[in-house]
Amino acid sequence: MRNFLEAFRRFAAPPSWDASFTPMILGFTCAFTIGGAKLTPSCLWWMFAAFIAIALVETGKHALNEIMDFRSGDDCLVDAEHRTPFSGGKKVLPQGLITETQAFGIAVVTMGIACVVGIAIAFWLNWIILPIGIVGMGVAVLYNAPQTRLIYRGWGEPCIFIAYGPVCAMGAYYMFAEAFSWIPLLVSFSLGLLIVNVLIINEFPDYEADKAAGKRNWIVRLGKYDGLRLYALLYVLHFVPYIVLMFVTKSPLWVLTFATLPMFLDVMRNYKRNMDNVPAAMRSNADTITIHMRSGLLADAVVLMLWLMTL
Protein backbone atom coordinates (compact mmCIF):
# COMPACT_ATOMS: atom_id res chain seq x y z
CA MET A 1 0.00 0.00 0.00
CA ARG A 2 2.85 2.40 0.79
CA ASN A 3 4.32 1.91 -2.69
CA PHE A 4 0.91 2.44 -4.28
CA LEU A 5 0.36 5.70 -2.41
CA GLU A 6 3.85 6.90 -3.37
CA ALA A 7 3.13 6.08 -7.03
CA PHE A 8 -0.17 7.96 -6.90
CA ARG A 9 1.55 10.93 -5.24
CA ARG A 10 4.07 11.12 -8.08
CA PHE A 11 1.38 10.92 -10.75
CA ALA A 12 -0.67 13.59 -8.99
CA ALA A 13 2.25 15.87 -8.06
CA PRO A 14 0.96 19.49 -7.77
CA PRO A 15 3.91 21.05 -9.70
CA SER A 16 2.48 19.58 -12.92
CA TRP A 17 -0.82 21.38 -12.37
CA ASP A 18 0.57 24.70 -13.63
CA ALA A 19 0.04 23.55 -17.22
CA SER A 20 -3.74 23.38 -16.79
CA PHE A 21 -4.43 25.63 -13.79
CA THR A 22 -2.82 28.73 -15.35
CA PRO A 23 -5.10 28.84 -18.44
CA MET A 24 -8.12 27.85 -16.32
CA ILE A 25 -7.52 30.74 -13.93
CA LEU A 26 -7.32 33.02 -16.96
CA GLY A 27 -10.65 31.69 -18.25
CA PHE A 28 -12.36 32.21 -14.89
CA THR A 29 -10.86 35.70 -14.53
CA CYS A 30 -12.18 36.70 -17.95
CA ALA A 31 -15.60 35.17 -17.26
CA PHE A 32 -16.18 37.18 -14.08
CA THR A 33 -14.82 40.45 -15.47
CA ILE A 34 -15.19 41.05 -19.20
CA GLY A 35 -17.58 38.09 -19.53
CA GLY A 36 -20.10 39.66 -17.18
CA ALA A 37 -20.68 36.52 -15.07
CA LYS A 38 -21.70 37.03 -11.45
CA LEU A 39 -19.53 35.43 -8.78
CA THR A 40 -21.73 33.48 -6.36
CA PRO A 41 -21.00 30.81 -3.71
CA SER A 42 -22.21 28.11 -6.12
CA CYS A 43 -19.73 29.36 -8.72
CA LEU A 44 -16.90 28.84 -6.27
CA TRP A 45 -17.98 25.24 -5.71
CA TRP A 46 -18.15 24.58 -9.47
CA MET A 47 -14.72 26.14 -9.98
CA PHE A 48 -13.35 23.91 -7.22
CA ALA A 49 -14.92 20.90 -8.94
CA ALA A 50 -13.33 21.93 -12.25
CA PHE A 51 -9.88 22.19 -10.67
CA ILE A 52 -10.32 18.74 -9.08
CA ALA A 53 -11.42 17.29 -12.43
CA ILE A 54 -8.45 18.68 -14.33
CA ALA A 55 -6.06 17.51 -11.60
CA LEU A 56 -7.52 14.01 -11.99
CA VAL A 57 -7.05 14.18 -15.76
CA GLU A 58 -3.42 15.19 -15.19
CA THR A 59 -2.97 12.23 -12.85
CA GLY A 60 -4.40 9.79 -15.37
CA LYS A 61 -2.37 11.27 -18.20
CA HIS A 62 0.86 10.87 -16.23
CA ALA A 63 -0.04 7.25 -15.47
CA LEU A 64 -0.64 6.49 -19.15
CA ASN A 65 2.56 8.27 -20.12
CA GLU A 66 4.49 6.21 -17.56
CA ILE A 67 3.14 2.99 -19.08
CA MET A 68 4.06 3.95 -22.64
CA ASP A 69 7.56 5.16 -21.74
CA PHE A 70 8.17 2.02 -19.68
CA ARG A 71 7.03 -0.28 -22.50
CA SER A 72 9.22 1.50 -25.04
CA GLY A 73 12.17 1.37 -22.64
CA ASP A 74 12.47 5.15 -22.71
CA ASP A 75 12.42 5.78 -18.96
CA CYS A 76 14.80 2.87 -18.35
CA LEU A 77 17.29 4.41 -20.78
CA VAL A 78 17.50 7.66 -18.80
CA ASP A 79 20.54 7.32 -16.57
CA ALA A 80 21.06 9.04 -13.22
CA GLU A 81 23.12 11.83 -14.81
CA HIS A 82 20.22 12.88 -17.05
CA ARG A 83 17.36 12.47 -14.57
CA THR A 84 15.73 15.67 -13.36
CA PRO A 85 12.53 16.52 -11.46
CA PHE A 86 11.16 17.80 -14.79
CA SER A 87 11.98 14.92 -17.13
CA GLY A 88 12.67 11.21 -17.28
CA GLY A 89 9.14 10.22 -16.27
CA LYS A 90 7.80 9.67 -12.77
CA LYS A 91 10.15 6.68 -12.22
CA VAL A 92 7.23 4.67 -10.83
CA LEU A 93 7.39 1.60 -13.07
CA PRO A 94 11.20 1.47 -13.47
CA GLN A 95 11.50 1.44 -9.67
CA GLY A 96 8.84 -1.27 -9.37
CA LEU A 97 6.55 0.70 -7.06
CA ILE A 98 3.45 -0.64 -8.83
CA THR A 99 2.62 -2.78 -11.86
CA GLU A 100 1.47 -1.65 -15.31
CA THR A 101 -2.01 -2.94 -14.48
CA GLN A 102 -2.17 -0.81 -11.36
CA ALA A 103 -0.93 2.24 -13.27
CA PHE A 104 -3.61 1.66 -15.90
CA GLY A 105 -6.19 1.31 -13.14
CA ILE A 106 -5.16 4.69 -11.73
CA ALA A 107 -5.58 6.22 -15.18
CA VAL A 108 -9.03 4.71 -15.72
CA VAL A 109 -10.37 5.66 -12.29
CA THR A 110 -9.04 9.23 -12.24
CA MET A 111 -10.11 10.00 -15.80
CA GLY A 112 -13.47 8.32 -15.20
CA ILE A 113 -14.19 10.51 -12.18
CA ALA A 114 -13.08 13.57 -14.17
CA CYS A 115 -15.56 12.63 -16.92
CA VAL A 116 -18.40 12.40 -14.39
CA VAL A 117 -17.54 15.84 -13.00
CA GLY A 118 -17.31 17.27 -16.51
CA ILE A 119 -20.73 15.90 -17.46
CA ALA A 120 -22.21 17.37 -14.28
CA ILE A 121 -20.74 20.78 -15.10
CA ALA A 122 -22.11 20.61 -18.64
CA PHE A 123 -25.56 19.55 -17.39
CA TRP A 124 -25.90 22.14 -14.63
CA LEU A 125 -24.00 25.10 -16.08
CA ASN A 126 -23.32 25.17 -19.81
CA TRP A 127 -23.66 22.42 -22.42
CA ILE A 128 -20.81 23.95 -24.48
CA ILE A 129 -18.46 22.52 -21.86
CA LEU A 130 -19.27 19.01 -23.10
CA PRO A 131 -17.66 19.21 -26.59
CA ILE A 132 -14.75 21.21 -25.20
CA GLY A 133 -14.25 18.58 -22.51
CA ILE A 134 -14.45 15.76 -25.05
CA VAL A 135 -11.69 17.38 -27.09
CA GLY A 136 -9.53 17.82 -23.99
CA MET A 137 -10.06 14.26 -22.79
CA GLY A 138 -9.50 12.92 -26.30
CA VAL A 139 -6.16 14.70 -26.54
CA ALA A 140 -5.12 13.41 -23.10
CA VAL A 141 -5.89 9.80 -24.10
CA LEU A 142 -4.58 9.87 -27.68
CA TYR A 143 -1.38 11.53 -26.47
CA ASN A 144 -0.28 8.21 -24.96
CA ALA A 145 -2.67 5.53 -26.28
CA PRO A 146 -0.80 2.51 -27.73
CA GLN A 147 -2.71 2.75 -31.01
CA THR A 148 -1.86 6.43 -31.57
CA ARG A 149 1.19 7.33 -29.42
CA LEU A 150 1.04 10.92 -30.65
CA ILE A 151 3.96 11.98 -28.44
CA TYR A 152 6.10 9.34 -30.16
CA ARG A 153 5.15 10.61 -33.63
CA GLY A 154 5.87 14.31 -33.27
CA TRP A 155 2.26 15.29 -32.54
CA GLY A 156 2.66 15.62 -28.79
CA GLU A 157 3.61 19.29 -28.91
CA PRO A 158 0.55 20.37 -30.99
CA CYS A 159 -1.65 18.33 -28.63
CA ILE A 160 -0.20 20.14 -25.64
CA PHE A 161 -0.82 23.50 -27.35
CA ILE A 162 -4.49 22.66 -27.94
CA ALA A 163 -5.20 21.06 -24.57
CA TYR A 164 -3.39 23.58 -22.37
CA GLY A 165 -4.19 26.59 -24.51
CA PRO A 166 -7.67 27.06 -26.00
CA VAL A 167 -9.32 23.99 -24.42
CA CYS A 168 -8.48 24.81 -20.77
CA ALA A 169 -8.93 28.57 -21.05
CA MET A 170 -12.11 28.61 -23.15
CA GLY A 171 -13.58 25.68 -21.23
CA ALA A 172 -13.20 27.62 -17.99
CA TYR A 173 -14.52 30.80 -19.63
CA TYR A 174 -17.65 29.16 -21.05
CA MET A 175 -18.52 27.57 -17.71
CA PHE A 176 -19.96 30.90 -16.59
CA ALA A 177 -19.85 33.34 -19.53
CA GLU A 178 -22.65 33.40 -22.06
CA ALA A 179 -20.85 35.14 -24.93
CA PHE A 180 -17.66 34.72 -26.94
CA SER A 181 -14.65 36.95 -26.25
CA TRP A 182 -11.44 37.36 -28.20
CA ILE A 183 -9.43 38.15 -25.09
CA PRO A 184 -9.36 34.70 -23.44
CA LEU A 185 -8.98 33.00 -26.83
CA LEU A 186 -5.98 35.08 -27.91
CA VAL A 187 -4.31 34.85 -24.50
CA SER A 188 -4.87 31.09 -24.55
CA PHE A 189 -2.86 30.91 -27.79
CA SER A 190 -0.01 32.69 -26.02
CA LEU A 191 -0.16 30.38 -23.00
CA GLY A 192 -0.36 27.39 -25.33
CA LEU A 193 2.92 28.37 -26.98
CA LEU A 194 4.59 28.82 -23.61
CA ILE A 195 3.48 25.43 -22.32
CA VAL A 196 4.86 23.85 -25.50
CA ASN A 197 8.15 25.49 -24.54
CA VAL A 198 7.91 23.79 -21.14
CA LEU A 199 7.57 20.46 -22.92
CA ILE A 200 10.43 21.26 -25.29
CA ILE A 201 12.88 22.33 -22.57
CA ASN A 202 12.05 19.16 -20.62
CA GLU A 203 12.86 17.06 -23.69
CA PHE A 204 16.51 18.18 -23.69
CA PRO A 205 17.72 15.97 -20.78
CA ASP A 206 15.91 12.96 -22.31
CA TYR A 207 17.26 13.53 -25.83
CA GLU A 208 19.50 10.46 -26.01
CA ALA A 209 16.98 8.17 -24.30
CA ASP A 210 14.07 9.41 -26.43
CA LYS A 211 16.08 8.96 -29.60
CA ALA A 212 17.07 5.41 -28.65
CA ALA A 213 13.47 4.52 -27.75
CA GLY A 214 12.05 5.88 -31.02
CA LYS A 215 10.25 8.78 -29.36
CA ARG A 216 10.23 11.21 -32.28
CA ASN A 217 9.39 14.41 -30.43
CA TRP A 218 10.44 17.77 -31.82
CA ILE A 219 13.83 17.86 -30.06
CA VAL A 220 14.72 14.40 -31.38
CA ARG A 221 13.67 15.47 -34.87
CA LEU A 222 15.44 18.83 -34.82
CA GLY A 223 18.42 18.18 -32.57
CA LYS A 224 19.35 20.21 -29.51
CA TYR A 225 20.72 23.32 -31.23
CA ASP A 226 17.79 23.78 -33.63
CA GLY A 227 15.49 22.81 -30.78
CA LEU A 228 16.79 25.73 -28.74
CA ARG A 229 16.14 28.02 -31.71
CA LEU A 230 12.58 26.70 -31.83
CA TYR A 231 12.23 27.42 -28.12
CA ALA A 232 13.29 31.03 -28.77
CA LEU A 233 10.92 31.34 -31.75
CA LEU A 234 7.91 30.12 -29.79
CA TYR A 235 8.71 32.55 -26.99
CA VAL A 236 8.83 35.44 -29.47
CA LEU A 237 5.59 34.30 -31.13
CA HIS A 238 3.79 34.17 -27.80
CA PHE A 239 3.86 37.99 -27.79
CA VAL A 240 1.87 38.21 -31.04
CA PRO A 241 -1.55 37.67 -29.39
CA TYR A 242 -0.73 40.35 -26.82
CA ILE A 243 0.26 42.80 -29.56
CA VAL A 244 -3.01 42.05 -31.36
CA LEU A 245 -4.88 42.64 -28.11
CA MET A 246 -3.27 46.07 -27.77
CA PHE A 247 -5.16 47.03 -30.92
CA VAL A 248 -8.34 45.07 -30.16
CA THR A 249 -8.72 46.57 -26.68
CA LYS A 250 -7.02 49.87 -27.56
CA SER A 251 -4.92 49.52 -24.42
CA PRO A 252 -1.13 49.53 -23.95
CA LEU A 253 -1.49 47.60 -20.68
CA TRP A 254 -0.69 44.34 -22.47
CA VAL A 255 2.93 45.44 -22.61
CA LEU A 256 3.11 44.25 -18.97
CA THR A 257 3.23 40.69 -20.31
CA PHE A 258 6.71 41.46 -21.67
CA ALA A 259 7.99 41.37 -18.07
CA THR A 260 9.12 37.74 -18.49
CA LEU A 261 11.70 38.73 -21.12
CA PRO A 262 14.71 38.93 -18.69
CA MET A 263 14.02 35.41 -17.42
CA PHE A 264 13.77 34.10 -20.99
CA LEU A 265 17.12 35.67 -21.90
CA ASP A 266 18.68 34.04 -18.84
CA VAL A 267 17.28 30.65 -19.92
CA MET A 268 18.81 31.07 -23.37
CA ARG A 269 22.22 32.06 -21.99
CA ASN A 270 22.23 29.19 -19.53
CA TYR A 271 21.22 26.55 -22.05
CA LYS A 272 23.72 27.75 -24.64
CA ARG A 273 26.49 27.32 -22.07
CA ASN A 274 25.22 24.10 -20.49
CA MET A 275 23.23 22.29 -23.15
CA ASP A 276 24.95 18.98 -22.32
CA ASN A 277 25.39 19.68 -18.62
CA VAL A 278 22.05 18.60 -17.17
CA PRO A 279 22.60 19.68 -13.53
CA ALA A 280 23.75 23.16 -14.59
CA ALA A 281 20.93 23.60 -17.11
CA MET A 282 18.21 22.27 -14.83
CA ARG A 283 17.31 25.62 -13.26
CA SER A 284 16.26 26.84 -16.71
CA ASN A 285 13.66 24.07 -16.85
CA ALA A 286 12.15 25.47 -13.66
CA ASP A 287 12.42 29.02 -15.03
CA THR A 288 10.49 28.02 -18.16
CA ILE A 289 7.62 26.81 -15.98
CA THR A 290 7.79 30.09 -14.08
CA ILE A 291 7.66 32.07 -17.34
CA HIS A 292 4.42 30.28 -18.27
CA MET A 293 2.86 30.86 -14.85
CA ARG A 294 3.92 34.51 -14.63
CA SER A 295 2.69 35.24 -18.13
CA GLY A 296 -0.72 33.89 -17.17
CA LEU A 297 -0.80 35.94 -13.96
CA LEU A 298 0.27 39.09 -15.83
CA ALA A 299 -2.51 38.53 -18.37
CA ASP A 300 -4.97 38.08 -15.47
CA ALA A 301 -3.78 41.37 -14.01
CA VAL A 302 -4.28 43.19 -17.32
CA VAL A 303 -7.81 41.76 -17.68
CA LEU A 304 -8.65 42.92 -14.15
CA MET A 305 -7.29 46.41 -14.81
CA LEU A 306 -9.23 46.69 -18.07
CA TRP A 307 -12.40 45.66 -16.23
CA LEU A 308 -11.82 48.10 -13.36
CA MET A 309 -11.37 50.91 -15.88
CA THR A 310 -14.91 50.29 -17.13
CA LEU A 311 -16.55 50.56 -13.70
pLDDT digits (tens, 9 = 90+) for 19-28: 999 999 999 9
d(CA 75, CA 259): 36
Beta carbons within 8 Å of 139's beta carbon, 6+ residues apart? 159, 162, 163, 167
d(CA 98, CA 117): 27
The pLDDT confidence band at residue 223, using thresholds 50, 70 and 90, is very high
Mean pLDDT, rounded, of the chain:
89
Task: Check residue 81 and give its pLDDT.
Answer: 58
Q: Specify whether the CB–CB gap between 132 and 23 falls below 8 A.
A: no
pTM of the model: 0.92
Beta carbons within 8 Å of 301's beta carbon, 6+ residues apart? 256
Task: Check residue 51 and give its pLDDT.
Answer: 95
d(CA 55, CA 47): 12
Whether 35 shows a pLDDT value over 80: the answer reads yes
Whether 257 shows a pLDDT value over 90: the answer reads yes
The pLDDT confidence band at residue 143, using thresholds 50, 70 and 90, is confident
d(CA 149, CA 153): 7
Q: Specify whether the CB–CB gap between 111 and 137 falls below 8 A.
A: yes
Q: 110-127, pLDDT tens digit by residue?
A: 999 999 999 999 999 888
Backbone angles phi, psi at 76, to 5 degrees: -70, -20
Give the mean model confidence (pLDDT) for residues 66-75. 78
Backbone angles phi, psi at 74, to 5 degrees: -60, -55
Kindly list the structural domains of the chain, giving each domain's residue range(s) and its CATH number in brackets, ordered by start. 2-308 (1.10.600)
Give the mean model confidence (pLDDT) for residues 25-32. 96
Which is more confidently placed, 192 or 156?
Answer: 192
| Residues 177/180/182/185 CA torsion (nearest 10 deg) | 70
Three-class secondary structure of residue 100 per DSSP: helix
Give the mean model confidence (pLDDT) for residues 269-273. 92
Which is more confidently placed, 44 or 142?
Answer: 44
Give the mean model confidence (pLDDT) for residues 153-157. 85
d(CA 189, CA 245): 12
Give the mean model confidence (pLDDT) for residues 255-269. 96
Give the mean model confidence (pLDDT) for residues 21-45. 94
Task: Check residue 113 and give its pLDDT.
Answer: 96
Q: Specify whether the CB–CB gap between 266 and 228 falls below 8 A.
A: no
Task: Check residue 89 and give its pLDDT.
Answer: 67
Lowest mean pLDDT among 133-142, 257-266, 288-297: 133-142
Task: Check residue 13 and give its pLDDT.
Answer: 83
Which is more confidently placed, 180 or 201?
Answer: 201
Name the nearest CA neighbour of 256 among 302, 218, 222.
302
Task: Check residue 171 and give its pLDDT.
Answer: 93
Lowest mean pLDDT among 71-75, 160-164, 196-200, 260-264: 71-75
Which is more confidently placed, 150 or 55?
Answer: 55
Name the nearest CA neighbour of 47 among 55, 58, 36.
55
Task: Check residue 278 and give its pLDDT.
Answer: 83
Task: Check residue 118 and give its pLDDT.
Answer: 93
d(CA 164, CA 285): 18
